[in-house]
Chains A and B, each alone.
Chain A
Amino acid sequence: MLKLERCLISNGEFDLSADLEIEQGQRIAVIGPSGAGKTTLIEAIAGFRPLAQGRLFWQAEDLSEKPPGRRPVAMLFQDGNLFPHLTVAQNVGLGLRPDLRLDKAQQENVMRALSRVGLDGLEARKPAALSGGQQSRVALARVLVQGRAMLLLDEPFAALGPALKAEMLDLVAELADETGATLLMVSHDPDDARRIAGQVVLVAEGKAHPPVTTAELLDNPPPVLRAYLG
Chain B
Amino acid sequence: MADRAQPLSPWPGILAATGVAALILGTLVAVVLRAEAGTGLGASDWAALRFTLVQASLSALFSVGLAVPVARALARRRFPGRRVLIALLGAPFILPVIVAILGLLEVFGRAGWVSQGLGLFGLEPIRIYGLHGVVLAHVFFNLPLATRLILQGWQEIPAERFRLAAQLNIEGASMFRLLELPMLRQVVPGVLAVVFAICLTSFAVALTLGGGPRATTIELAIYQAFRFDFDLGRAALLSAVQLILTGTAAFLALKVSLGEGFGGGLDRQVRRWDGRGSRVLDAVWILLAGAFLLLPLAAIVLSGVPGLLELPPVVVRAALTSVGVALVSTLILLLLALPMAAAVALGRAGAVEMSGILGLAASPLVIGTGLFIVIFPIADPFDFALPVTAVVNAVMALPFALRILVPRARAVVARYGRLGLSLDMGGWSFVRWVLLPRMRPQIGFAAGLGAALSMGDLGVIALFADPELATLPLQIYRLMGAYRMEAAAGAALLLLALSMGLFWLLDRGGRWHAEA
Interface residues in chain A, defined as those with a beta carbon under 8 Å from any beta carbon in chain B: 46-48, 50, 65, 67-70, 73-75, 77, 80-81, 83-86, 90, 94-95, 98-100, 126, 128, 142, 146
Known: A50-B1, A80-B415, A126-B515. A85 touches B423 (CB 8 A): no
Find chain B residues with CB under 8 A from A69 CB.
421-426
Using Cβ atoms and an 8 Å threshold, which residues of chain B touch A86?
A: 433, 437
**CB<8 Å pairs between A and B, sample of 16:** A50-B4, A68-B421, A68-B424, A77-B418, A83-B416, A83-B419, A85-B437, A85-B438, A86-B433, A98-B420, A98-B426, A99-B425, A99-B432, A99-B433, A100-B429, A128-B515
* B437: chain A residues within 8 A (beta carbon): 83, 85-86
Cα(A142)–Cα(B514), bound, Å: 24
Closest residue of chain B to A139, judged by CB? B419
B46 on interface, CB distance cutoff 8 Å: no
A77 to B420, CA, bound (A): 12
Q: Which of B1, B419, B429, B430 has the most CB of A within 10 A?
A: B419
Q: Mark B483-516, 1 if CB is under 8 A from A, else 0.
A: 0000000000000000000000000000000111
**Most-contacted residue by chain A among B421, B423, B432, B516 (CB, 10 A):** B423
Minimum distance in angstroms from A199 CB to a CB of chain B: 24
In the bound assembly, the distance between CA atoms of A66 and B424 in angstroms comes to 11
CB-contacts of B1-49 with A (<8 A): 1, 4-5
Contact partners of A67 in chain B: CB under 8 A: 5, 421, 424, 426
Q: Determine how close the nearest CB of chain A comes to the CB of B341; give it in whole angstroms.
A: 18
Given A50-B1, A85-B437, CB of A95 within 8 Å of CB of B515: no
Query: In the complex, what residues of B have CB within 8 A of residue A99's CB?
Result: 425, 428-429, 432-433
B residues touching A (Cβ–Cβ < 8 Å)? 1, 4-5, 415-416, 418-426, 428-430, 432-434, 437-438, 514-516
Using A70-B424, A128-B515 as known contacts, list a sample of 8 further A-B pairs with CB atoms less than 8 Å apart, ordered by residue number in A.
A68-B421, A69-B422, A80-B415, A83-B433, A85-B514, A94-B423, A98-B425, A98-B433
Which chain A residue has the least Cβ–Cβ distance from B415? A80
Q: Report how far A90 CA is from B437 CA in the complex, Å.
A: 13
Q: Which chain A residue lies CB-closest to B436?
A: A85
Task: Give, as a whole number of angstroms, the nearest-CB distance from A17 to chain B.
Answer: 19
From known contacts A80-B416, A128-B515, infer whether A48 and B421 are also in contact, taking CB-CB under 8 Å: yes
CA of A68 to CA of B434 in the docked complex: distance in angstroms? 17
Within the assembled complex, what's the spacing in Å between the Cα atoms of A124 and B4? Answer: 35
Nearest CB of B to A225, in Å: 29
Cα–Cα distance between A135 and B425 once the two chains are bound (Å): 21
- B422 in contact with A74 (CB, 8 Å): yes
Closest 8 A/B residue pairs (Cβ) = A69-B424, A98-B425, A98-B429, A50-B1, A68-B421, A85-B515, A99-B429, A85-B437
Q: Are B423 and A95 in contact (CB under 8 A)?
A: yes
A24 to B425, CA, bound (A): 27
Closest chain-A Cβ to B162's Cβ sits at a distance in Å of: 36
Query: Nearest-CB distance from A134 to chain B (Å)?
Result: 16
Q: Contacting A48 at CB < 8 Å: which of B415, B418, B426, B514?
A: B418
A142 to B437, CA, bound (A): 20
Residue of A46, A67, A86 contacting most chain B CB atoms (<10 Å) = A67
Chain A residues with CB below 8 A from B4, complex form:
50
CA distance in complex: A68, B420 (Å): 9
CB-defined contacts of A128 to chain B, threshold 8 Å:
515-516
CA distance A73 to B5 in the complex (A): 15
Q: Shortest beta-carbon distance, A92 to chain B, in Å?
A: 11
Residue from A50, A65, A77, A100 in contact with B419 in the complex, judged by beta carbons closer than 8 Å: A77
User: In the assembled complex, how far is the CB of residue A136 from the closest CB belonging to chain B, in whole angstroms?
Assistant: 14
A187 to B430, CA, bound (A): 30
Closest A residue, CB atoms, query B438:
A85
